[in-house]
Structure 1
């Protein structure tokens, strides 16, 4: 028999028991007078294990579970990704405190029912689990470790979940700093784009303490269809995210070059993309981006060439720090850099195709 634990907004422990994987699950509210012990600060400050009726102190048990069920949540960074993710956490019934530099983003969440913090430290002080969704690794360091940052407000026993596309080293450094305050850090970047954030269909790849990950699944499930625990180091999720981005960008650049070359040979792009999506050349670019964005001329994936270039540079930085040559990675990085210089950083990443069309078109002479 397996059990999962979370805390309701009223402070009651929710125990989900799966007796047999073929049976449905039943959920019970259990008070602290029964066979389960309920810690004083949610499930975040002490150990929790099913206890015999003798009432043993849970702190005597060696296996700790930090729980992130129905708890107070903070969210810092309310952009194209963070805004929808924060809204989903609010819709799931969590008490939410938010912060962003953009007053319009703060107002939108306040109108939806969230409390607005005055600064990152204020958000962290009011939250048992604080989420970050920031543009760069440097922004993560500033928001967490800078003046009025998360580190100056977060309480012992809390959890920090960083969903930023960052470097493994940044996440590891932040985790090391906050460990001194008894704060657990999960590196939990996401994939699925703006549409995935809006539809709560993201994939999240999480690195860090497995027990904390297990207890926080309810939070991840508010915005992600597919949560994965990928390793016990907080930076492991960032490794998988950077590798995923590399494969995505490689597919985008490769598909753009192939379709542009086919057009130069006089072939219909719709027919080519349909064939590619049903054949061994299929990838996300030909299955989704070309038929839904590029061929109709929308070019609106909600992810700029500047961000695309930033992320491929983070991949290259990780490869360099790993002392691993990545020849294709360097080529893809250069092509994205050329496209950004040609079209401007604000252009949508799908407009790489426009650049490729001009790159390989026949010379007029």
Structure 2
């Protein structure tokens, strides 16, 4: 088993690193919050004093960070410490261009980079049922597949470019957020028209209107009153900003994507940065229901 250096132990990174440890993999862990490191040490990890310390002697370095700015900052720090033939795996929701530029930098040092963003949320990370979208050299993908399979049930090789996985992740997130908005609007309108919300969701799920929003977020979070996917609106808007930025980089006008981004931005302003993403429903309802 390879020696893994793991940087970023938040809601996603902490559980992923724990699954690696449970599989018998040696993990050296670092996070800016010391208590997160200590929690992983209790699970069996070796603590690192810095990001650079975490990558020394690592065969594979895994990043799980808030976004591309954090990825660039960490790579700036570890670039001189990372060793030749090390594989850096970025699971962060980032941009394809960020990953490609990091690959160019680290390739010059003899290290390799693959983008492997994840989907499935906090519960998927805890349960080890994430999906992983991997871009990069196929041989690197195969070398890292056993690591992915410790925390994911679906592992996809999507392309040879280091940024290809991040392309797939941005597209997936866009669809997820769009269907949440659209399904919320449909359910609120049905409610206004006098239909039972729970029954309407059942109809969607038995028909062509079904989606992850109707199958999971509406019945399990919104209609139950939980509103606790563990993913806040500020990160939702951040992901959509990255998606529209990617569209601009591709010189592809996004007709619906820009509207979705702005609507989520309005919901964030209405509900607050830390409000769960499913609070989009409350925003939609407030806009549609005339008191």
User: Which ranges of structure 1 fall in alignment gaps of 5 or more residues?
Assistant: 1-69
Which of 73, 84, 90 is the equivalent residue of 1:142? 73
Measured in 2, the distance between the counterparts of 1:303 and 1:131 equals: 21
2:13 counterpart residue number: 82
Q: Give the whole-Å Cα distance in 2 for the aligned partners of 1:103 and 1:125.
A: 19
Runs in 1 of length 4+ with deviation above 2 angstroms?
none
Within-5 A mapping of 1:256-267: 256-267=184-195
Q: Any idea what the Cα deviations from partners look like across 1:54-83, whole Å, max 9, x if unmatched?
A: xxxxxxxxxxxxxxxx11011100000000
1:286 aligns with 2:214: yes
Match of 2:61 in 1: 130
CA contact (8 A) 1:168 1:235 kept: yes
Asked if structure 2 preserves the Cα contact closer than 8 Å seen for 1:200 and 1:225, the reply is yes
CA contact (8 A) 1:159 1:184 kept: yes
Aligned position for 1:118 = 49
Higher relative contact order (CA 8 A, sep 6+): 2
> TM-score, normalised on structure 1?
0.79
Give the CA deviation at 1:136: 1.1
- SS across alignment from 1:334: helix
Give the number of the structure whose alpha-carbon radius of gyration is greater: 1
Q: Secondary structure at the match of 1:313?
A: helix
Q: For residues 129 and 221 of structure 1, what CA distance do their matches in structure 2 show?
A: 15
Residue 145 of structure 2 corresponds to 217
| 1:100 and 2:14 are equivalent in the alignment | no
Flag the structure with higher helix content: 2
C-alpha distance after superposition, 1:155-211 (max 9, x if no partner): 101100000000001000100000011111000000011111001110000000100
2:283 corresponds to: 355
Alignment-derived partner of residue 47 in structure 1: none
Please state whether the residue corresponding to 1:342 is helix, strand or coil: helix
Deviation of 1:104 (Å)? 1.3
Match of 1:20 in 2: none
CA deviation profile, 1:19-44 (whole Å, cap 9, x unmatched): xxxxxxxxxxxxxxxxxxxxxxxxxx
Shift in Å at residue 351 of structure 1? 0.6
Q: CA deviation at 1:137?
A: 0.2
**Alignment match of 1:311 (pick from 239, 252, 260):** 239
**Residue 252 in structure 1 maps to residue 180 in structure 2:** yes
Is 2:199 the partner of 1:268? no
What CA distance in whole angstroms lies between the structure 2 residues aligned with 1:277 and 1:185? 40
Are 1:242 and 1:314, in contact at CA under 8 Å, matched by a contact in 2? yes
Q: State the TM-score, normalizing by the size of structure 2.
A: 0.99
Matched, 1:72 2:3: yes
2:162 is aligned, of 234, 242, 246, to 234
Distance 1:265 1:333 in 2: 28
Secondary structure of the structure 1 residue equivalent to 2:287: helix
Could you tell me how far 1:289 is from its partner in structure 2? 0.7
From 182, 188, 198, the equivalent of 2:126 is 198
Contact 1:99/1:120 (8 A) holds in 2: yes
Other-structure match for 1:299:
227
For the aligned residues, what is the CA RMSD? 0.7
Structure 2: 5+ residue stretches without partners: none
Q: Distance in 1 between matches of 2:231 and 2:149?
A: 23
**Structure 1 CA distance for aligned equivalents of residues 16 and 97 of structure 2:** 25
Q: Structure 1 residue 126: deviation in Å?
A: 3.0
Give the Å deviation of 1:335: 0.7
Aligned residue pair count: 291
SS of 1:216 mapped into structure 2: helix
1:97–1:126 contact (8 Å) kept in structure 2: no
